[in-house]
Amino acid sequence: MAVKNAVKSAVKEKVISKDFKEYIRDVNPDVGLDETIKRLTPEKIEKTIKAVIGGRSSRIKAVMNTCIHCGLCAEACQWYLSNDKDPTYAPVAKMRMTIWEMIKRNGKVDAEFIKQCARIVFTECNICHRCSMYCPYGLDITFIIGMVRRICFLLGVIPQRQLDQAQAHIVTLNQVWLSQNDWLDVLQWQEEEVGADFKDLRVPIDRDGAEVMWLPLGAEPKTGTYHIERTAKIMYAAGVNWTLPSKDVWDSSSMSMFVRDFVTMQRIVRGLYDNAARLRIKKMVLTE
Binding residues for other proteins (CB under 8 A): 31-32, 35-36, 39, 51, 153-156, 160-161, 163-164, 167, 170-172, 179-181, 184-185, 188, 192, 195-196, 199-200, 202, 204-210, 241, 246, 248, 261-263, 266, 270, 273, 277, 280, 282
| 3-state SS class at 141 | helix
| Identity of the residue numbered 77 | C
Closest distance to other proteins from the beta carbon of 105 (Å): 22
**Orientation of helix 111-123 relative to helix 141-155, angle to 10°:** 130
Q: Which is nearer to other proteins, 202 or 230 (CB)?
A: 202
> Among residues 73 and 158, whose Cβ is nearest to other proteins?
158
Residue 201 beta carbon to other proteins: minimum distance, rounded to whole angstroms: 9
Give the nearest distance from C-beta 155 to other proteins in angstroms: 8
User: What DSSP string runs through 219-287?
Assistant: HHHHT-THHHHHHHHHHHHHT--EEB-SSS------HHHHHT-HHHHHHHHHHHHHHHHHHT-SEEEE-
- By C-beta, is 97 or 149 nearer to other proteins? 149
> CB 11 → other proteins: shortest distance, Å?
21
Q: Check if the beta carbon of residue 248 is closer than 8 Å to that of residue 172.
A: yes
What are the phi and psi torsion angles at 254 (to 5°)?
Answer: -145, 90
Which ranges of 111-248 does DSSP label H, i.e. alpha helix? 111-123, 130-134, 141-155, 160-172, 180-195, 219-222, 226-238
Residue closer to other proteins, measured from CB, 84 or 208: 208
Minimum distance of other proteins from residue 86's CB (angstroms): 30
Q: Which residue, 80 or 153, has its beta carbon nearer to other proteins?
A: 153
